Amino acid sequence: MSTSLQRGITTLLAQIDAPVATFFSTCVHCGLCAESCLFYTETQDPKYTPIHKLEPMRRLWQQEYTFWGKLLKKVGLSKPVTDEELAEWEPLVYDSCTLCGRCSLACPVGNDITYMVRKMREGMVASGHAPEGLKGATQRAIEQGSPMGVNLKTLKAQIKHAEKETGLTVPLDVEGADYMMVLSSAEVADYPEIISAVTRIFKQADVSWTLASDGFEGTNSGIQIGSSDLAADILGRIVHAAERLKVKYVISPECGHAYTALRWEGPNLIGRPYPFQVIHIIELLDELRSSERLKTDSVDETRMTFHDPCQMVRRGGVIEQPRNLLKQVAPNFVEMPDAGVQNWCCGGGGGVSANHRAERLRIKVFSRKKSQLEAVDAKLLVTSCSNCRTMLLDGLELNRMDVEVIGLTELIADHLTDNAEGKAS
Amino acid sequence: MDQELLLWVRGTGLQIATAVFVLGMSYRVLHLLLLGRKPSLAVARGSEWAGGLRTMWQRSFMLPSLSGRGLFTVIAGYVFHVGFLITLFFLSQHIDLFRAVFGFGWPALPRGVIDIAAVLAIGAMVALLVHRFIDPVKRLLSGFEDFLTWTLSFLPLLTGFMLLRNIGFEYLTLLTLHIASVELLMVVAPFTKLAHMFTTFMARWYNGAVNGFKGINA
Ligand code: SF4
Ligand code: SF4
C-alpha cells in the first residue's frame, strides 16, 4: 500500500465518530437522498446519489467497526479500499457535491450526509485525491494569502476607490473598533462596490468598524478541500487580526462558506473559543434595521427574488433576516419555489467553483435554478454570497436569461436615507 | 411437524432469540454512542437537545416534494411500517403473549383491521422489492444485506398471515414456522441494517442537534 493511500485511510478512519458510524449503520438504502441532490435530479445519473458518494468510507467503516465486516476482512473476503477507487471517487466527492446540505434534510432515517462528505474530503485530500483547481486555490491561499491571488495592494486600491466614491474614510487597522469587517476574495477582486456600500451604511448607522490589513479575506479553501490543518492556517489570520485590533465582533462577508468557516468551524479548527463574536453582515444589517439605526427612504419597484445561499440558510440559520431587509426596499419581492431552507444550490458551492473539471457538470445542473427563476419571472436576483453571485451570473448568461444579479448589502446601501453624498449613480 | 419442535421454539428458542436481540442491540447502540463526538467550541445560537428531539419526532412525518419514484418509496415505506407495527402490536394473540410475560396488555384491534394491515404490509413489501430491482438508484445501493433483511422481515408477516387465514400448512406447522421466523429476525436484527429500528432515532438526534445548535428550524 502506498504511503499516501495509507495516510488517506488512517485519516478516514479517524473521521469516523459516533454520528458517522450511526449514519452508516442506519442507512436503509432507500435512495430518497438522490431526489434532494441537484446533481442527481438534473442528470438522473444514479452515481450522484448522495450516500453513494461515501462508498469507500462506508466500506472502511464496515470493515473496521462492524462484526460481520471484521469477520469478512479476517478471512479475506472483503474488498479493500484502493488508490484507484479513491481516484474514481474524487469527482463524486468534489465535483458533484457542493456541501449544500439538502440531502441531510431529506433522509428519512435522519442521516446528515453532508457532514459525512465534509469528513470524507479530509481522507481524500490526505490520500492526494483532490481536484487540481481546488489544490491550486488552497495553495495560493496559504502562500499568497488569497485563493484568487488578491493581496493588500489590491485591497488598498479598492479602498482608495471607495473613499473617492463615497467621500468617506474607510477605516483600516483601527484598534479598539467594535466590528472588524472581513471580505471574500471575490468581493475584493470582482465586487468592490461592497466596500462603498458598507462604508455608507456603517456611517449612517454610526457603527465603529475597521478592516484589517493582515486579515481581510474570509474565503477558506482549506475547508472546501477538506484539510482542517490548512483551514486553521487560513482562518488563523483573521483570528490573529481580530485579537490584535481587540474588536468585539468579526463580520462575516457575503460569502456562504466563509460564514461556515468563521462562525461554526473556526473555533474547532483552532482548538479554542474566540475572544470575539462572529456575525454575518446580513444579520448585522437586520439588527441595525430593527433598532432603527439603518434607515432607507426609497424603494426599488423591480420584480425581484432572493437566492438563499446554502451555507446561510440550511447550514447557517440566517433565514428571516434577508427577507426583513428586502421587505423594506423591495415592494415587488417574490419568493421562488422552495425558497428558504429548501432552496436549491447555485451549483458552485463547496469548492466546485474553483474546480475547473467540474464546470460542465455545474453548468448542466444550473437547470434547476433556471426553472426556479422562470417560475417567478423576476428581473432582479438578489443574493448574499459573492460566490453564488458569480455562479448565478455565469449560469444566467449561458442560458441567455435577462435577469440581473445584485448583493443584498449593495441593494440596501442604494436606498439609504440621506445618502445624497456619494450615492453611486 | 412434531410437537417437540414447537415446544422448543416457544421455550428455549424464544429465550435465546430474546437474549441475542436485547444484548446485541444494546451492544450495537452502546458501541455507537461510545464512539463519541467532539463538542463544538463555537457559540451556540440554539439548543442541541431541542433540535435533536424535534428531528427525532418530525422526520417521521415528512412528505417532501418528490418526483414519482421518491413518492412511491415514501408511501410504500409508510404502508409497510404502519402495517407491520399494527399487526405486531394490535393482534390479540400478540397482546396475550405480552400479557403472559409482563402481566399487562392493551385492547386488540378487530381481526378485519389486522387482516387489511397485514395484506397492505405484504403488498408494500413486495412492491418495494420489485422497485429495488428496477429502480437504478436503489439497484446501485443494494447488496446482499438488503435482500437478507427483506426476507427476514417478510417471513414473519407471511407466515403470520397464513396462520390467521389457515392457508397452506396445518396449524401447528404454521405456528412453528411463524415463531421460528420471528426468532430468526430477532437474532439477525442487531447485526444488520435492521438495527435502524433503534439507531434511526440516534441518527436523527445527531442531525437535528447540529441544526438546533445553529438555530436552524429544519
Ligand atoms: S435517504 Fe438516507 S437512508 Fe435512504 S439511501 Fe439516502 S442516506 Fe440511506
Ligand atoms: S450536500 Fe448537496 S450537493 Fe452534496 S450530496 Fe448532499 S444534496 Fe448533493
pLDDT tens digits, residue range A348-379?
999 999 999 999 999 999 999 999 999 999 99
Q: Does pLDDT of A422 surpass 60?
A: no
Mean pLDDT of A159-178: 96
Question: Ligand 1: which residues within 6 Å by Cβ?
Answer: A 27-33, 51, 107, 109, 111, 113; B 141
Share of chain A above pLDDT 70, in %: 98
Residue A252 near residue A259, CB atoms below 8 Å: yes
Question: Residues B124-144: what's their mean pLDDT?
Answer: 97
Mean pLDDT, to the nearest integer, of A173-189?
94
Same domain, A265 and A337: no
Domain-ending residue, one of A235, A256, A290: A290
Residue A40 in any domain: the answer is: yes
Give mean pLDDT, residues A85-104.
Answer: 97
- Would you state the pLDDT for residue A98? 97
Give the pLDDT score at B62. 73
Indicate yes or no: CB of A108 within 8 angstroms of CB of B59: yes
Domain boundary among A129, A163, A183: A129
> What rounded mean pLDDT belongs to chain B?
94
At A423 the pLDDT is 42
Q: Domain boundary at A129, A155, A174, which?
A: A129
Q: If contacts are CB pairs under 8 Å, which of residues 60-89 in chain B contact chain A?
A: 62, 64-67, 69-70, 73-74, 77
CATH number at residue A43: 1.10.1060
Is A52 a member of any domain? yes
Residues A163 and A281 in one domain: yes
pLDDT at A424 over 50: no
pLDDT(B217) > 90: no
Same domain, A213 and A102: no
The bound ligand whose nearest atom lies closest to the alpha carbon of A361 is 2
Whether residue A418 lies inside any domain: the answer is: no
Write the pLDDT tens digit of every residue in A103-119.
999 999 999 999 999 99
Phi-psi region of B177 (alpha: psi -120 to 50; beta: other; left: phi over 0): alpha
Residue A311: give its domain's CATH number: 3.40.50
One domain, residues A166 and A116: no
Domains and CATH numbers, chain B: 2-22+67-193 (1.20.950.20)
Q: Give a yes or no: residue A420 inside a domain.
A: no
Which residues of chain A neighbour B196 with C-beta distances below 8 Å?
Answer: 25-28, 109
Structural domains in chain A (count): 3
Q: What is the reported pLDDT for B68?
A: 74
A258 vs A235: CA distance, rounded Å: 9
What pLDDT, on the 0 to 100 scale, is given for residue A425?
38
pLDDT, residue A147, reads 80
C-alpha cell recorded at residue B90: 394490535
Q: Is the ipTM of this complex over 0.85?
A: yes
Same domain, A141 and A284: yes
Which pLDDT value is given to residue A2? 85
Does A224 fall in a domain?
A: yes
- pLDDT tens for B168-183 read 899 999 999 999 999 9
pLDDT class of B66 with cuts at 50, 70, 90? low
Q: Is the same domain home to A19 and A37?
A: yes
Answer yes or no: are the C-beta atoms of A36 and A76 closer than 8 Å. Answer: no
Mean pLDDT of chain A: 94
Query: What's residue A143's pLDDT?
Result: 86
Q: Could you tell me which residue, B69 or A108, shows the higher pLDDT?
A: A108
Residue A296 in domain: no
Say if residue A169 is in the same domain as residue A284: yes
Closest ligand 2 atom to A113 CA: 6
Domain residue limits at A237: 134-290
Q: Are residues A154 and A270 in the same domain?
A: yes
A279: domain CATH number? 1.20.1050
Same-domain status, A267 and A321:
no
Per-residue pLDDT of A263-304, as tens digits, reads 999 999 999 999 999 999 999 999 999 999 999 999 999 999
Residue A344: pLDDT above 70?
A: yes
* Chain A residue at shortest CA distance from B138: A31
pLDDT > 60? residue A127:
yes
List chain A residues with CB under 8 Å of B193. Answer: 25-29
Residue A418 pLDDT class (50, 70, 90 cuts):
confident
Residues A119 and A142 reside in one and the same domain: no
Same domain, yes or no, for A214 and A337?
Answer: no
In a domain, A182, yes or no: yes
CA A222, A228, A232, A235: dihedral to nearest 10 degrees? 40
Residues A182, A117 within the same domain: no
Q: How much is the pTM?
A: 0.94
Residue B63's pLDDT band (cuts 50, 70, 90):
low
- Determine, yes or no, domain membership for A330: yes
